[in-house]
């Protein structure tokens, strides 16, 4: 009488397989933990990115006229020179508050980061409320957003790096403010890379449109 040999794995082979898989898994988990420890908190970075995007949208949606809104030539001017009060970076209307009426009002000087969105060193939204705080002043979620800070920089666009294709490229200066480069930097930690940066542009596509 003949018997077929049983097929499968022995208990020793099964134990060896479990040991090998366990050692490999421990190595992979160790690498993942190391990467997680060395990298920025993804939730914090995502919060900073959302804040930066909101602030960029606020700045880009502001008007960009040739003249200040109170200027009698505002609806007819075709250049800054035709204005009694031309719009310029650093010139802010008396008593102006956020949201500012013009893109150029979001910085007091060109080319330098400005903490335009902060009050008492705490960034605030377009309504003046600290980020991450509800109507009663209580912190929303488990972590305060107060340590997250943002700056805005308004840059003139030079001839070395104009905006647009050749023949129709735009440049800007204090006296010919055709386009502005907007840079938002939102910092969420103390590390060298604990920040997000957004760059955008604003052109004068409707230079005579007033409120």
Q: What is the pLDDT of residue 9?
A: 65
Rounded CA-CA distance 169/64 in Å is: 18
pLDDT digits (tens, 9 = 90+) for 95-120: 889 999 899 999 999 999 999 999 98
Q: Which letter does DSSP use for residue 63 in this model?
A: B
Q: What is the average pLDDT score of the chain? A: 87
**C-alpha triplet 70, 72, 74: angle, nearest 5°:** 75
pLDDT at 181: 97
**148 φ, ψ (degrees, to nearest 5):** -80, 125
How big is the chain, counted in residues?
211
Per-residue pLDDT at 137 exceeds 90: no
The answer to whether the peptide bond before residue 151 is cis (omega within 30 degrees of 0) is no
pLDDT tens for 1-42 read 555 555 666 788 778 878 888 888 877 777 666 555 555 478
Radius of gyration over every alpha carbon of the chain, rounded to an integer in angstroms:
28
pLDDT at 41: 76
* Rounded-to-integer distance, Cα 185 and Cα 111, Å: 13
pLDDT digits (tens, 9 = 90+) for 58-89: 999 999 999 998 899 999 999 999 999 999 99
Residue 63 · residue 76 · CB < 8 Å: no
Q: DSSP label at 26?
A: H
Q: Where are the beta strands (DSSP E) in the chain?
A: 118-119, 122-123, 149-156, 179-187, 195-203
Decide: 188 and 144 in contact? Cβ < 8 Å: no
Q: pLDDT tier at 129 (50, 70, 90 boundaries)?
A: confident
* Average pLDDT over every residue of 115-142: 85
User: Which residues are within 8 A (CB) of 171 and not within 5 positions of it... i.e. 6 or more apart?
Assistant: 156, 157, 158, 159, 162, 163, 178, 179
User: What is the C-alpha separation between 39 and 154, in angstroms, rounded?
Assistant: 30
101 neighbors 109 (Cβ within 8 angstroms): no
Q: Exposed (0-12), middle (13-18) or buried (19+): which is 143, by Cβ within 10 Å?
A: middle
Show me where the domains of the chain are located: 9-39, 41-203
The least confident of 37-51, 69-83, 161-175, 182-196 is 37-51
- Output the DSSP codes for 101-137: SBGGGG-SSTTS-B-TTEETTEEB-TTSPBTTB-TTS
CA 154 – CA 104 distance, rounded (Å):
8
């Amino acid at each position: 009488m003949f018997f077929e040999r049983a097929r499968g794995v022995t208990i020793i082979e099964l134990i060896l397989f479990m040991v090998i898989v366990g050692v490999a898994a421990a190595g992979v988990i160790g690498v993942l933990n190391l990467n997680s420890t060395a990298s920025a908190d993804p939730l914090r970075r995502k919060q900073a990115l959302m804040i930066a995007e909101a602030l960029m949208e606020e700045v880009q949606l502001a008007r960009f006229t040739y003249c200040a809104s109170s200027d009698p030539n505002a609806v007819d001017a075709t250049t800054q020179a035709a204005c009694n009060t031309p719009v310029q970076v650093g010139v802010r209307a008396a008593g102006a508050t956020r949201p500012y009426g013009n893109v150029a009002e979001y910085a007091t000087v060109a080319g330098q980061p400005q903490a335009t969105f902060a009050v008492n060193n705490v960034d605030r939204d377009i309504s003046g409320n600290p980020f991450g705080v509800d109507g009663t002043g209580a912190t929303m979620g488990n972590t305060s957003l107060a340590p997250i800070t943002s700056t805005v920089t308004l840059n003139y666009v030079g001839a070395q790096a104009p905006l647009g294709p050749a023949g129709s490229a735009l440049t800007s200066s204090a006296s010919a403010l055709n386009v502005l480069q907007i840079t938002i930097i939102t910092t969420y930690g103390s590390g060298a890379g604990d920040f997000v940066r957004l760059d955008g542009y604003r052109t004068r596509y409707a230079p005579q449109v007033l409120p």
